[in-house]
Amino acid sequence: IGDDADVVRLHGVASFFSSMTAPSSLEDAISHARHDIAQVAENVMRTFMVGMSLANQVASNQRRAVAHA
């Protein structure tokens, strides 16, 4: 993720996830790739689930507000 990350956000990208947890050599990155990519996938899904939960809470609050109006 570089200095121009904000430019990408203008095109609808909301977040970035890195498969690297620390600087490493290419050899180390390749040897740990399977584990690191699995970790990124888990982090992406956890973030997605938080977003879905928040969206459901907002929708529920909106329905309550309309019902009490």
Amino acid 15: pLDDT: 86
What are the start-end ranges of the H helices in the chain?
5-9, 26-31, 33-67
Cα 51 from Cα 43, distance rounded (Å): 12
Amino acid 5: pLDDT: 81
Has residue 23 got a pLDDT over 90?
yes
Q: Which amino acid is at 1?
A: I
Average pLDDT, the chain: 91
pLDDT > 90: percent of the chain:
65
Cα 61 from Cα 24, distance rounded (Å): 46
If pLDDT is split at 50, 70 and 90, which confidence band does 68 have?
Answer: confident
Tokens encoding 34: 């399977």
If pLDDT is split at 50, 70 and 90, which confidence band does 31 have?
Answer: very high
